[in-house]
Amino acid sequence: MRITVRALAALALLAAIAAPARAAEEPVLNLYSARHYQTDEALYENFTKATGIRINRIEAGDEQLVERLKNEGAASPADVLLIVDAARLWQAQQLGLFQPVKSAVLDERIPEKYRDPAGHWFGFSYRARVIVYNKAMADRADAATYDALAGPKNKGKVCSRSGSHPYNLSLIASQIAHLGEAKAEAWAKGVVGNMARMPKGGDTDQIKAVAAGECALALTNSYYYARLMRSTQPADREVVAKTALVFPDQDSFGTHVNISGAGMLKNAPHRENARRFLEYLASNDAQRYFADGNNEWPVVAAVAVANPALDALGKFKVDPLPIAAFGKFTAEAQKVADRTGWR
């Protein structure tokens, strides 16, 4: 018994010695990021200059990073996961990858719509799911609503990427949240029935197909179109000249938006540094870098972004549906995509 007591005493002494070392965190942050934009380099450099915290970064797609975290488990060195879709943020939360963050700064700066109610993740920029149309083949009224994509006037005129892609799953999930699953499925079936071709490629491919006359209308994220607007390539300028963009449902729900967002990971070894990084992403300077790097809008409304493409697109009514609601219906959205053949 004396040996056990001595052992316990020794452990207590070691813990007391180690406590100060744990309290002073190493000035490093391990970031898993699905963002890969040139302006993000300045974003990270400014954080390091302001805090002295060096960022170690691993970049991959949303899905690959989530899978990596699952495989690493409690041994993961990652402090923060930064990804570009609300459905994937929800998935990571459901897998138990995040821990809640208590921060008065984040609560004050990030609108409730763009964050998890329990603080597991926060959105820092947003983009719109818009409709692009060929000006010689359709007019603005043909693209005024998401419902128009399923209407008889647009038979054989619609292009889209796969319905199973997270951007479309989030849109379908928002339709389910607004209309119920049955009506959302009827809408998705109508969209599929109006397609000019089977879903293929990414959003930029859809825009170029519209410009080429392969279809008259297509769904895309706003930043893909803004990227073409800012391009100096003659071919890209020609695509923009032949097309126009519409923010759908301005007379009803408003346009569906999605986010780039981040959260502190459950097994983060540098938790204080992770909290400081998340708060930094909500700062005015970071919001400008964060949004402008991918032609998105900052979630902090008071922050102005000097982006000529976004200025040209103008203001629009955003669907007030909380971002967190998309995740709740993602599984149902996938079933709708499967049943309707939006593959």
Sign of CA dihedral 119, 121, 125, 131: negative
Distance CA 301, CA 124 (A): 11
Residue 16: pLDDT band (50, 70, 90) is very low
pTM: 0.90
- Give domain limits for the chain: 26-126+257-309, 128-255+316-340
pLDDT at 24: 62
Give the residue from 55, 59, 66 showing the smallest Cα distance to 30: 55
Mean pLDDT of 96-119: 97
- Within 8 A by CB and 6+ apart from 277, the residues are 29, 31, 47, 53, 55, 79, 80
Evaluate if residue 8 carries a pLDDT over 80: no
CATH of domain 128-255+316-340: 3.40.190.10
Q: pLDDT tens across 149-177, in order?
A: 999 999 999 999 999 999 999 999 999 99
Lowest mean pLDDT among 125-134, 202-211, 318-327: 318-327
Tell me whether domains 26-126+257-309 and 128-255+316-340 share a fold.
Answer: yes
Q: Show the beta-strand stretches assigned E in the chain.
A: 28-33, 54-59, 80-83, 122-134, 158-159, 217-221, 243-246, 257-264, 297-298
Average pLDDT, the chain: 92
Fold of 26-126+257-309: D-Maltodextrin-Binding Protein; domain 2 (3.40.190)
As a whole-number percent, the residues of the chain with pLDDT over 90 amount to 84
Model pLDDT for residues 117-139, shown as the tens digit of each residue: 999 999 999 999 999 999 999 99
Higher-confidence residue: 3 or 333? Answer: 333
312's tokens: 């040209």
Bridge partners, 268 (sequence order): none
Distance CA 173, CA 87 (A): 9
Beta-carbon contacts of 306 under 8 Å, excluding residues fewer than 6 positions away, are: 288, 292
pLDDT of res. 311: 93
Query: Is the confidence at residue 20, as pLDDT, over 80?
Result: no
- Residue 3 pLDDT > 80: no
Looking at the predicted structure, is the pLDDT value of residue 17 above 60?
Answer: no
pLDDT at 284 over 50: yes
